[in-house]
Amino acid sequence: MGFSQQVRDAVLVASARHCSVCRRYVGVKIEVHHIVPRSRGGDDTFENAIALCFDCHADAGHYNPEHPRGTRFSPAELRRHREEWYKLAHAGAIPSSNDPNLIYARHIICRDYGAIGEICAGELSRMPLHGPRLWENHVLQFVRRYHPARAVRKLVVEYASFEAVRHAYPEVAEIEGLRGSGEVRVPISADRVRSVFEESDPLTCELLAEGVPVEELVYSYVYHNQCGTESFYQLADTRPMWLGLLAIENAGQQAVTIEALELREDAPGDLRYRPFATSGASATRSLPPIPLEPGCNVVIPEAIILAPFGGVGFVSSRDQEQQELHRSWVQVLGHGRLECQDPTLLRLVGPALHVEQATVIVGGRRVQCGVHQLDPSNLYVLDRHWMIGCCPHLFYRGATGWSYDGSILAAPGVGIVVTAQRTLPLGCDSLRIWELEHEVTHIESIRLDGREQLSKPCRLTKGQWIDLPCAGVQELEVSGRYHSEMRASHVHDSYLRMLGQDALAELRALDR
């Protein structure tokens, strides 16, 4: 059940809405954490609760003992932090909300192509931050050089028949299962990539020239179009480029100036395709002396990240803030972690700034404020989703956990009743048909090994799903149709990949 509202209120009052570890006043940006997790026998009492900011909560809750980095928080340490802070709060010996130490720093990964383009142009009006001011630096210059004309998917060749695909790739054994799987990875040469992406993706071509293996930069595959035709396409995807930003907010009640940043500067003058890690020489960088009013932010481009093919899922540790941009687009900013089983799949390229400390001027005083490092387990993600329709999505759970099987009920057009069939892998025990988009799905029938599972047709809207047990079942058959007022587009396929991965990450997190 979690903490009761009475316990939460008592903790927030006792802590004066300050984090008990870093001791910042964070207002609504605070969470009540179990000192001993419920999974290990911890209860929902005041004695087992501690108030933590988003950053410290992520550090306390997301430590991975299988891949240890740093030193985890122990229950004894958390209790000591809490008791010492409660004593200060009870004695009234805490700083007021306009204390010059109180800035709020957060790392944001911008995954949306259009949003990155706006930042490159210096247009921040759509950023979900109050009064954002952009610091122009060489990280932003790098993004401007490569991002505007970059295409992450190109058609290599179209095949008229399955036999033509088999003839082109006789060495790829998985080709025989193409009709069932819908997609099979195939090799592609560096020279072929250069010819396809020479004008549309110079970054990938330059990284190939630097000696980066082609399979790390390009995902080449044959795709079977099962939505109304029998065409086969060979497509090539290059790795998505994300922009890492540091937003420093004036959390006090009087104007402050961020004068300088103490940081580690990584690869200031070259491409350097490398692991996602903090490194580089120590440096001090001055910022333009622009006063920040209370609640306003300075936005600092800090890293260019190449994400895995198709991106990685994002698990939110709190409610996401959503802003509708116009009729068919919505912008989401959420705090949580990137669900990446292998952190080495994230790569840095070009210059990076690993900020460690900010020098803040307030009331004529200079104050040093620490900044936590950019970490995939503790950040915000800024995304824009296209609210379009393309049928519900299928997930199933087997011996290794949840898997994503793509969209189902694909049809030549909206509103057309179709029947989709899937052969489920051996060992599956559950399946979910999930409507993830802004549309309405009408399911007429669901059959498992020929047995009807619905007593009557059902209707799903965004965020709704059907869960069914399927132990021992091999064949799934779903009949239905979907309806959406939004039109499809060439960017829809990459959006679906991201959407499915995010939902899969959520299911896997619930299973832990």
As a three-state string, the secondary structure of 461-510 is CCCCEEEEECCCCCEEEEEEEEECCCCCCCCHHHHHHHHHHHHHHHHHHH
Do 309 and 186 share a domain, yes or no? no
- Contact criterion met (CB below 8 Å) for 388 and 437: yes
- Contact criterion met (CB below 8 Å) for 287 and 260: yes
Residue 280 lies in a domain: yes
* The domain boundary residue, chosen from 346, 363, 385: 385
What whole-number distance in Å separates Cα of residue 358 and Cα of residue 105? 10
Query: CA quadruple 18, 19, 25, 27: dihedral positive or negative?
Result: negative
Residue 163 to residues 160, 168, 232, 434: CA-CA distances in angstroms?
9, 9, 10, 34
- Contact criterion met (CB below 8 Å) for 349 and 273: yes
Residue 98 lies in a domain: no
What whole-number distance in Å separates Cα of residue 373 and Cα of residue 364? 28
What whole-number distance in Å separates Cα of residue 478 and Cα of residue 398? 20
What whole-number distance in Å separates Cα of residue 281 and Cα of residue 304? 18
- Phi and psi angles of residue 193, each rounded to the nearest 5 degrees, phi first: -60, -45
Residue 95 lies in a domain: no
Other Cβ atoms closer than 10 A to 37? 13
pLDDT value of residue 267? 77
Residue 32 lies in a domain: yes
The whole domain housing 413 covers: 389-510
Nearest to 113 by CA among 143, 136, 141: 143
Do 404 and 488 share a domain, yes or no? yes
| Amino acid making up residue 295 | G
Residue 97 lies in a domain: no
Report the run of H or E that residue 206 belongs to, with start and end: helix 202-209
Do 29 and 117 share a domain, yes or no? no
* The domain boundary residue, chosen from 217, 238, 259: 238
Nearest to 111 by CA among 389, 355, 373, 310: 310
Nearest to 500 by CA among 358, 339, 372: 339
What whole-number distance in Å separates Cα of residue 193 and Cα of residue 236? 8
Count structural domains, the chain.
Answer: 4
β-strand pairing of 281-286 with 297-306: unpaired
Q: What share of the chain is helix, strand, coil (3-state, %, to 5)?
A: 25, 35, 40
What whole-number distance in Å separates Cα of residue 482 and Cα of residue 460? 9
| Amino acid making up residue 40 | R
Residue 374 lies in a domain: yes
What whole-number distance in Å separates Cα of residue 318 and Cα of residue 336? 7
- Contact criterion met (CB below 8 Å) for 508 and 402: yes
Nearest to 265 by CA among 354, 347, 139: 354
What whole-number distance in Å separates Cα of residue 182 and Cα of residue 186? 13
| CATH number of the domain bearing residue 41 | 1.10.30
- Contact criterion met (CB below 8 Å) for 380 and 106: yes
Do 312 and 380 share a domain, yes or no? yes
pLDDT value of residue 319? 57
pLDDT by residue, tens only, the chain of 512 residues: 688 999 999 999 998 888 888 877 777 778 899 998 888 888 989 999 999 988 788 777 654 454 445 577 888 888 888 998 888 888 776 654 434 456 889 999 998 888 898 999 999 998 989 999 999 999 999 999 987 656 677 888 888 888 888 899 999 888 887 766 667 889 999 999 999 888 888 999 999 999 999 999 999 988 775 544 567 888 888 888 899 999 999 988 889 999 999 999 987 778 889 988 777 888 899 998 888 999 999 999 999 999 888 667 777 765 567 676 654 567 888 888 887 656 568 899 999 999 988 988 887 778 888 888 888 878 899 887 654 555 788 999 988 888 888 778 866 555 678 888 888 888 899 999 998 876 788 899 999 999 999 888 888 877 788 999 998 888 899 998 876 544 443 344 555 656 666 777 777 777 76
Do 469 and 329 share a domain, yes or no? no
Do 373 and 428 share a domain, yes or no? no
Overall pTM > 0.85: no
β-strand pairing of 313-316 with 352-362: unpaired
* The domain boundary residue, chosen from 385, 412, 437: 385
Query: Tokens for 131?
Result: 């009064």
β-strand pairing of 297-306 with 132-134: parallel
| Nearby residues of 122 by Cβ (< 8 Å), 6 or more positions away | 134, 136
Do 200 and 260 share a domain, yes or no? no
Report the run of H or E that residue 13 belongs to, with start and end: helix 5-15
Do 127 and 81 share a domain, yes or no? no
Give 163's Cβ-side CA count (13 Å radius).
0
Q: Which stretches within 63-201 are classed as H helix? A: 75-90, 113-120, 138-146, 162-168, 178-181, 190-197
Do 249 and 116 share a domain, yes or no? yes
Residue 43 lies in a domain: yes
3-state secondary structure of 113: helix
pLDDT value of residue 27? 72
Do 366 and 475 share a domain, yes or no? no
Do 278 and 363 share a domain, yes or no? yes
Nearest to 303 by CA among 104, 142, 105, 134: 142
What whole-number distance in Å separates Cα of residue 258 and Cα of residue 302? 16
Do 377 and 408 share a domain, yes or no? no
Residue 214 lies in a domain: yes
What whole-number distance in Å separates Cα of residue 158 and Cα of residue 144? 32
Would you list the DSSP string of 345-358? GSEE-S-EEEEEEE
Q: Within its chain, how far is the Cα of 346 from the centroid? A: 12
